[in-house]
Chain A
């Protein structure tokens, strides 16, 4: 029997410091065994347990896209024991990954629709996976317009800067990057994410919003989308909870009768309405 608790061995092959505060890094892992890579079938929105023997595990959303074979990427903020250890690792170190876990962004449902992606801070990781997935040449025609609103507090806190620039140059994605407060070199937009969403005003016609960010951003952004005519079925988000096993056994990440680890982390607002308000 396959043991879901045993991590898949991977090697750190690249580390990118994403922000000027240096506490958010993107780690690229390569599988040690090629059959592990073949078995690791995932979709944007899923997560994995990053596993460091001697320290523990931390559930982190997968930031790379399945259209990027050969590696997995995770963007991680330095916070607790595992993530702090991770931040001190060097390229070439071996560690483990358990997954993929949870459900994904509802790719089948999103097909044929216009997609509005709203992200705040570094909660942009699985949204980046989704955008990369949709923009891939084999997938782009299956989806309608893509509108992205992505905000951070300062320009230095924006992640994936190179990719943002590359997307900016494309004509098949409407990218709106904003910062709460710019600096002398910032030439882009200033303003909070909810305000920018209101200005961009994407149509709710045949459209789905996928939103991830700090709770305060979500709280003020949702009314904007309700005003634009988005139904709760068409506003989709992802939850976080403390987790251990990742497969619905250890009993701590439930919201009502659903486990965020295996029934989530992706839920529509309509689904969340049916759950208890305990997250």
Chain B
């Protein structure tokens, strides 16, 4: 793995240079929000930001995507295109929690037997440049409770860490190394920077204030699908789905058809286990009748089922669901309460 040192004032220029040759998504300020957007000529990427409001999973698993197109023929509607068309892209400025969500989503979308060609095509053509959280940005950050770290490079191709005058640039994967040429002839990082990195990483972890027993609740969930506790969390939930839409690891989707005249598309859209219609069957039967069952599903899916199926908690501790829930439901409190059952 190549480790180089980059003068801090050079970074924005490098990112802009890359964006002249390929599509670059970078955090930019958009009204009150920090959002990942395509970097257009004349636009500055944010280098100093907390985190984006939306999770960057959308670049691999878009909120809406066309799966195929079809057209009317004499024999009915027939497929016209099913090609997955994806452009080479760079995703710059991803926080380690969000980058880790890509590694978690890979487990699902790249399973041995059932592969998702849309997700995989984007993943293969996108280089992820992460920006370590030298100072974790929010009091709601809890990445260290779910196997993450504010300076982790998991899920990233290149990891940048602010070490004072320089960024330590780690080219983690071969895909990341392909961008080396844009960085110019940088000095190699040495022992001193390695030591500095360790110190910064340790300090950053200590700055995380929120700790939850996320890894302890699996055995409790294993045995408490039926428990009065489930009656206690959902009552104020509005079923708005904000938590699942902002979540970097939520992956549920709906497939639907839109046809007009002789042409149509089959699209997939994000869906949410928080919605009553999510599991409603044509017969009228709904296995998850109330918000109680839906909340149980959400908690179980993240902290038990994903662990059963893939060996990892499906939560990266970004805190978005905590920050943006309109009725202040807090997954950290729920996990703490479950640990006490």
Which residues of A are interface residues toward B (Cβ below 8 A)? 1-7, 9, 11, 52-57, 79-80, 83, 89, 92-96, 240-242, 244-245, 247-257, 262, 276-279
Contacts and interface: CB of A to CB of B under 8 A. Distances in A.
Contact of A247 (B75, B114, B273, B279): B114
Contact of B78 (A9, A247, A276): A9
A270 to B, nearest CB: 18
Given A3-B117, A249-B116, A278-B293, A56 B108 contact: no
A52 B278 CA distance: 21
A249 B301 CA distance: 13
The 6 A-B residue pairs with the shortest CB-CB distance, nearest first, are A53-B77, A251-B252, A54-B259, A80-B282, A247-B114, A257-B308
B328 interface: no
Contact of A250 (B120, B255, B283): B255
Contact of B273 (A11, A251, A257): A251
22 contacts: A5-B67, A6-B68, A6-B82, A53-B76, A53-B257, A54-B70, A54-B264, A57-B255, A79-B282, A79-B283, A93-B76, A96-B79, A244-B254, A244-B255, A248-B111, A250-B254, A252-B252, A252-B279, A254-B305, A256-B300, A256-B305, A278-B287
B304 A257 contact: yes
B175 interface: no
Nearest to B67: A5
B295 to A, nearest CB: 13
A89 B235 CA distance: 46
Contacts of B79: 6-7, 9, 53, 96
Nearest to B307: A257
B271 A262 contact: no
A262 B256 CA distance: 20
A26 B20 CA distance: 58
B186 to A, nearest CB: 36
B279 A241 contact: yes
A32 B115 CA distance: 25
Interface in B251-270: 251-257, 259, 264, 266, 268
Contacts of B309: 257
A86 B273 CA distance: 29
A3 B115 CA distance: 8
A252 B114 contact: no
B305 A257 contact: yes
What is the predominant secondary structure among interface residues of chain B facing chain A? mixed
A56 B257 contact: yes
Nearest to B282: A80
A211 to B, nearest CB: 19
B257 A92 contact: no
Contacts of B84: 3
B288 interface: yes
Contacts of A248: 108, 111, 114
A250 B279 CA distance: 11
Nearest to A79: B282
B225 interface: yes
A251 B70 CA distance: 26
Given A4-B114, A53-B77, A250 B271 contact: yes
B73 interface: yes
A52 B68 CA distance: 13
B30 interface: no
Contacts of B304: 257
A2 B253 CA distance: 20
A94 B76 contact: yes
B48 interface: no
A4 B111 CA distance: 13
A211 B278 CA distance: 28
A55 B117 contact: no
B245 to A, nearest CB: 14
B308 A56 contact: no
Interface in B299-332: 300-301, 304-305, 308-309
Given A3-B84, A251-B301, A257-B304, A54 B77 contact: yes
B158 to A, nearest CB: 26
B82 A94 contact: no
A80 to B, nearest CB: 4
